[in-house]
Amino acid sequence: MRVLIGYSYASNNRDAVANAINDLAKGLSEAGVQTVVYKQYDPYQERSQPVPGTIAESFRKVNRLKGQLLYLAGFTLHLIRTASTIDCVITLDTPSGLAFTGKLAKLVSRGRIKHVAWIMDLYRLQSRNQENSPSSRLRDARLKFETATIKSADKVVVLGECMQVELRRNGISESVVLPIWHNASSTLPIPKPEAKAAYYRSSDFIVMYSGNAGVAHPLDGLVRAAEILKNEKQIRFIVSGHGKSYDSAQKLARQAGLENIEFTSGVPFHELSLYLSSADIHVVCLSEQALGSCVPSKAYGAMAAARPILFLGSAGCQVALDVDEAQCGYCIPTDEAEKIANTIFSLYRQPSLTDQMGRNSRLYFEDQRTLATGVTRWSQMLRTVID
């Protein structure tokens, strides 16, 4: 069995999706499913600090579009040249139109090559259902084309039940949930005293958000919770990452003059286990309006680190469902700052409960969200599709 995976940012080792598909490819190959990820040079892997300004942003958009078109062309040519050696092609959702290559492979091979459409981000399709989203005939035509090509796939894979609901709203009724995982080798639980000693005081109670914070990950509620708890000197908030919501939260904290919240750019990959283990609670968030667009994978890194999760978002999100099943944290709406603050303070005052939730987190991870479990699920699914 031979499988080809396409994703335009596959060579970017700082991209969570790229890491997931590369881990999957390696795991499948070790399990006897020969799997190749088609890669091209990614200029964003070596990009310097972005230059602010409208003109600079326009250049970035043009370069991004150029890179994605080149990837689409290169992947299509590679697929045509190697069609005789491929049994299945897996396409992700970037670049736009990549799923069409799966349909093309089926046509070229007269149905022998199977197509699996792996959907990790439904933002583009979801935007069509939002009244205030920008609209154009070209965009709507592109979305209809993408929906049609996804429908033609032999199997559509999503990361959670909430994404299945969103697909059904877009006319795609058949899909299967194969949950995302976290590579345990990158995040091992380290005892709190040891981990905290590397970054903070041992008496600090650390509430951490780590990772990308784009427009779908609002952090203003967390900042307002920090303001409510500003007199609790041992409770510290750490926001580590980048993105528009990160910038907005940093500005809000600065305006409020908060000294109990720190904004950082993160740590090198080799420090990830130590860094994630230095937190007492991990915060994961997804805007209620973005429900069904994705499943924030950072939740499973927190589980791997054996730490509780405070999920800010809708109770219908897959992360919220998993946190509830694992009994490893709480789910609170993104804008309920007082409830967020009260929950954090309650966990601070109950260290035994916090520790138990951390243990529950790790147990759930080991049972449901390891790479090995993900590889097994994918291997079984591929064999049913191809055979």
Q: Which of 310, 316, 309, 280 is nearest to 295 (CA)?
A: 316
Residues 354, 208 within the same domain? yes
Residues 193, 149 within the same domain? no
pLDDT, position 377: 98
pLDDT, position 49: 46
Q: Please answer whether residues 148 and 121 qualify as being in contact, where contact means their C-beta atoms are separated by less than 8 angstroms.
A: no
Residues 229, 375 within the same domain? no
pLDDT, position 41: 57
Q: What token pair was written down for 356?
A: 């138990």
pLDDT, position 66: 82
What does residue 176 show for φ and ψ, rounded to 5 degrees? -125, 145
Residues 151, 54 within the same domain? yes
Residues 118, 233 within the same domain? no
pTM of the model: 0.88
Residues 381, 340 within the same domain? no
Residues 169, 189 within the same domain? no
Residues 99, 190 within the same domain? no
pLDDT, position 47: 44
Dihedral in degrees, nearest 10, Cα atoms 64, 70, 74, 75: 40
Packed helices 318-326 and 351-368: angle between N→C axes, nearest 10 degrees: 110
Residues 330, 208 within the same domain? yes
Can you give the pLDDT of all 387 residues of the chain as single tens digits? Answer: 899 999 999 988 878 899 999 999 999 999 999 999 999 755 544 444 444 555 555 556 677 778 788 999 999 999 999 999 999 999 998 888 898 999 999 999 999 999 999 999 887 666 555 445 555 666 677 677 778 888 889 999 999 999 999 999 888 989 999 999 999 888 889 999 999 999 999 999 999 999 999 999 999 999 999 999 999 999 999 999 999 999 999 999 999 999 999 999 888 888 989 999 999 999 999 999 999 999 999 999 999 999 999 999 999 999 999 999 999 999 999 999 999 999 999 999 999 999 999 999 999 999 999 999 999 999 999 999 998
Q: Please answer whether residues 36 and 5 qualify as being in contact, where contact means their C-beta atoms are separated by less than 8 angstroms.
A: yes
Residues 153, 235 within the same domain? no
Phi-psi region of 356 (alpha: psi -120 to 50; beta: other; left: phi over 0): alpha
Q: Please answer whether residues 204 and 234 qualify as being in contact, where contact means their C-beta atoms are separated by less than 8 angstroms.
A: yes
Burial label, 243 (beta-carbon count in 10 A; 0-12, 13-18, 19+): middle
Give me the domain span that covers residue 364: 184-368
Q: Looking at residue 319, which CATH number applies to its domain?
A: 3.40.50.2000
pLDDT, position 57: 57
pLDDT, position 188: 87
Residues 262, 247 within the same domain? yes
**Could you give the number of structural domains in the chain?**
2
pLDDT, position 42: 54
Q: Please answer whether residues 232 and 348 qualify as being in contact, where contact means their C-beta atoms are separated by less than 8 angstroms.
A: yes
Residues 361, 376 within the same domain? no
pLDDT, position 305: 96
Q: Which of 204, 236, 177 is nearest to 374 (CA)?
A: 177
